Amino acid sequence: MAFYSTGSEAFAREKLSSTAEQSTSPSSWADKYRGATVEDLDPPPALSVSPNDLVSSAMLAAYERDFTHLTQLLKEGTIKESDSVSAAMQRFNRKRGLYQVITMETPLEELEQFFETETGPNGEKREKQEFAVVTDASRKFVLGVVTKGDLEEFVKRRP
């Protein structure tokens, strides 16, 4: 419970807290990026496991590297820790649409747009994205994964 000595002090504090909440809205994030790129998010290196490994082994490897979650691309059904990673894998459908390349040099404004829009690079309708796979410019190597939460944390900790 908050205590205020005067009504004007209560008004000032409430106005300050509502302004702070507004400053973290997605539309105001772009003002705070100031030229920052995906590299400034300092994503951890990508974790690679064999399709023959158990899901439990992949989860343990992710936990040991302080990952907060393990991204699994599985449209339907459930998996168990005793399943192999191949049971949870899904091939990337290159013919479905244009793949938006996210690299370490991608500006954070562009990354925010990737997370927030429901339209793909060639105009097709898609779901909002929760994570982005960071690759090199030629898309030969996966360098890491960044999430919408990583972007939000960056904005919160930036002066």
Q: Which residue has the tokens 């400034």?
A: 40
Q: What are 56-64's contacts with CB under 8 Å, separation 24+?
A: 56/81, 56/82, 58/85
Residue 62 lies in a domain: yes
Which pLDDT score is estimated for 39?
96
In this structure, how many other beta carbons lie within 10 angstroms of the beta carbon of residue 114?
20
Residue 27 lies in a domain: no
Cα dihedral 90, 92, 93, 99 sign: positive
Residue 68 lies in a domain: yes
In this structure, how many other beta carbons lie within 10 angstroms of the beta carbon of residue 98?
11
SS (H, E, C) the chain: CCCCCCHHHHHHHHHHHHHHHHCCCHHHHHHHHCCCEHHHHCCCCCCCCCCCCEHHHHHHHHHHCCCCCCCCCCCCCCCCCCCEHHHCCCCCCCCCCCCCCECCCCEHHHHHHHHHCCECCCCCECCCCCEEEEECCCCCCEEEEEEHHHHHHHHHHCC
Residue 117 lies in a domain: yes
- Banded model confidence at residue 48, pLDDT cuts 50, 70, 90: confident
Mean pLDDT of 110-123: 83
Which pLDDT score is estimated for 91?
62
Mean pLDDT of 69-83: 66
Residue 12 lies in a domain: no
Residue 58 lies in a domain: yes
- Domain hosting 70: range is 32-157
In this structure, how many other beta carbons lie within 10 angstroms of the beta carbon of residue 142?
14
- Banded model confidence at residue 5, pLDDT cuts 50, 70, 90: very low
Q: How many domains does the chain have?
A: 1
CATH number of the domain enclosing 131 = 3.10.580.10
Residue 66 lies in a domain: yes
Residue 142 lies in a domain: yes
